Amino acid sequence: MSKCEPSSTTDRAMSPILGVVLLLVVTAALAGTVGSVALSTSMPSDPSRAAIDLRLDADENRVTLLHRGGDALDVNALSIRVRIDGAALDAQPPVPFFSADGFRPGPTGPFNSAADQRWTAGETASFALAGTNSPLPSSGKTVTVAISVDGVVIAAVEEVA
């Protein structure tokens, strides 16, 4: 036997081990890269936050919302859903609007299409339901208003008429 034979056997035995270790390192690096890219693109941005108060006038069918604090809201991005005793109104208010079907003319504040479309803390916005909408708020009924941006509810307020 020559002296080279044991050395070449040892070198050959190390090759599979090094190959496996390198393959594991490459796999871990790729998994980390793919995972971080997937998580960073699938996480939604932090939604707006706002504190909203609800005031009702059942005699006038008027819904008034007061922006008490938090982020300024782009009215064009808002979606408002009104429920009375759990039942959705036949017509829902488009925002901003003026004389929309199912609503009386003259919404106030940023809900009026002629107003500034940024709803900031301290501002009041309101709309009145037309008598043709159903159901209508009446004494003892619970009115719930949900305000959403891109399908995410940012404020939900409830009051008994």
Residue 4: both structure tokens together: 């080279």
Same domain, 28 and 92: no
Same domain, 66 and 145: yes
Is the pLDDT assigned to residue 18 strictly greater than 80? Answer: no
Label residue 122 by pLDDT band (50, 70, 90).
very high
Q: State the residue range of the domain holding 130.
A: 50-160
Higher pLDDT, 103 or 152: 152
Residues 61-91 have pLDDT tens digits of 889 999 999 889 998 888 999 999 999 988 8
Same domain, 39 and 64: no
In this prediction, residue 45 carries a pLDDT of 56
Q: What is the mean pLDDT of residues 35-49?
A: 63
Same domain, 28 and 60: no
pTM value is 0.66
Instruction: Look at the chain and report how many structural domains it folds into.
Output: 2
DSSP per residue over 37-84, as a string?
HHHHHHSPPPPP-EEEEEEEETTTTEEEEEEEEES-EEGGGEEEEEEE
Same domain, 24 and 3: yes
